[in-house]
Amino acid sequence: MSSNVSFSKLFKSFTEARDHTAEQLRLCVVGTGPELARVVGVLSAGAEDAQGGVSSALDALSLADFPRDAGLAGRWEMVVLVAAGCPAAEAAPVAHAAHDAGLHLVALIEEQDGGVWAQAAGVFDDEIARAVGGDHNGTPSLEKKIVQVARDKAARLAAELPAMRRAYCDHVVLTNATQNAVIGAVVIIPGADMPAMTANQIRMILKISAAYGEDVGLDRALEILSVVGSAFVFRALARQALDFVPGFGWALKGTVGFTATVALGEAAIAYFEAGAPLRVSRMQRINRQLDRARSRLPGFLQRGIAEE
């Protein structure tokens, strides 16, 4: 199977991923009493440097200790305000100080009728998280909200706080899969989508590896290129789709681009969750995941791959 993948594009993907994951987000969790300790404990769970249940990746302050001066508050980039146990009137100065300093604010409001509290505290609707820890069936969790706001800067946070990893990696996979769906749908020249989609997948895996504390270096990037062969299979499938479904091939190409990227991302997450080092000899684990994803596709598409 031939390829037109530009190694300069892949190297650029490696460089971008390395630069973004090197950026650090300074996080401050503000609240009161046992509720503050609970949230800090959930976020710090599993952190190697946790002392007394608190990781050095974040700061924990009481409402009274958070600085009202914008210059002093500017030492952080994001403030998490824990509503439980905090009167809105006492939380409001913290929210105002964070806004005045231009910081990202996320308020954890777990009560069902928390809208009244949020309004009194000066918290906007898009700054609210409803749960923390675990899977909450689509509920905007604190972990997901932090990642949504921090974007690539959440990579270092995920590396230091295991509780943040799944939310960050899910965000990375969904973002790259959506981008590849668009590339697959709008690029109509056979093979022209391959470099962009493959580079996107390489970038995705590099970000996931960084979230699990793997060193992002050129040698690691070259090892990951062993996955590219499987990625080509999905590019071939997308091209075949144009012949099998005249007029609607663009939609199928987008679906394949999305599905292939999600399969690759989920395999990478499972790989690092298992603690396996990223070596060429073990990349077959990811390839098997891609094969399983391919086997679930319609038979005529599988035949299109085999004939490529």
Q: Does 37 map to a domain?
A: yes
Task: Give yes or no: residues 139 and 47 share one domain.
Answer: yes
Task: Answer yes or no: is pLDDT of 232 > 70.
Answer: no
Q: Which phi and psi (to 5°) does residue 80 adopt?
A: -105, 120
pLDDT in tens, 139-178: 789 999 999 998 888 888 999 999 999 999 999 999 998 9
Q: Do residues 262 and 173 lie in contact, with contact meaning Cβ atoms separated by under 8 Å?
A: yes
Q: Which phi and psi (to 5°) does residue 233 adopt?
A: -60, -40
Confidence band of 296 (pLDDT split at 50, 70, 90): low
183 Cβ partners below 8 Å, 6+ apart? 193, 196, 197, 200, 257
Task: Give yes or no: residues 211 and 268 share one domain.
Answer: yes
Domain that holds residue 276: 164-307
Task: Give yes or no: residues 191 and 221 share one domain.
Answer: yes
Tell which of 108, 135, 154 closes a domain. 154
Task: Give yes or no: residues 287 and 180 share one domain.
Answer: yes
Q: Does 177 map to a domain?
A: yes
More confident residue, 96 or 1: 96
Residue in the structure block whose two tokens are 């056979």: 190
Compute the mean pLDDT over every residue in the chain, rounded to the nearest whole number: 77
Task: Give yes or no: residues 144 and 212 share one domain.
Answer: no
pLDDT in tens, 67-114: 999 899 999 999 999 999 999 999 999 999 999 999 999 999 998 778
Q: Does 4 map to a domain?
A: no
Task: Give yes or no: residues 170 and 303 share one domain.
Answer: yes
pLDDT in tens, 10-28: 556 656 655 555 567 899 9
For range 228-252, the mean pLDDT = 54
Q: Does 258 map to a domain?
A: yes
pTM for this entry: 0.77
Tell which of 120, 136, 154 closes a domain. 154
Least confident of 16-20, 137-141, 239-243, 300-304: 300-304
What is the pLDDT, as a whole number, of residue 284? 58
Q: Please spell the DSSP secondary structure of 215-253, one letter per residue.
A: ---HHHHHHHGGGHHHHHHHHHHHHHHHHHSTTTHHHHH
Q: Does 133 map to a domain?
A: yes
For range 205-221, the mean pLDDT = 74
pLDDT in tens, 34-53: 999 999 999 999 998 888 88
The CATH number of whichever domain residue 150 belongs to comes to 3.40.50
Q: What's the number of domains the chain is made of? A: 2
Tell which of 154, 182, 200 closes a domain. 154
Task: Give yes or no: residues 36 and 141 share one domain.
Answer: yes
Task: Give yes or no: residues 142 and 175 share one domain.
Answer: no
Task: Give yes or no: residues 178 and 275 share one domain.
Answer: yes
More confident residue, 228 or 199: 199
Task: Give yes or no: residues 215 and 150 share one domain.
Answer: no
Q: Does 6 map to a domain?
A: no
Task: Give yes or no: residues 248 and 173 share one domain.
Answer: yes
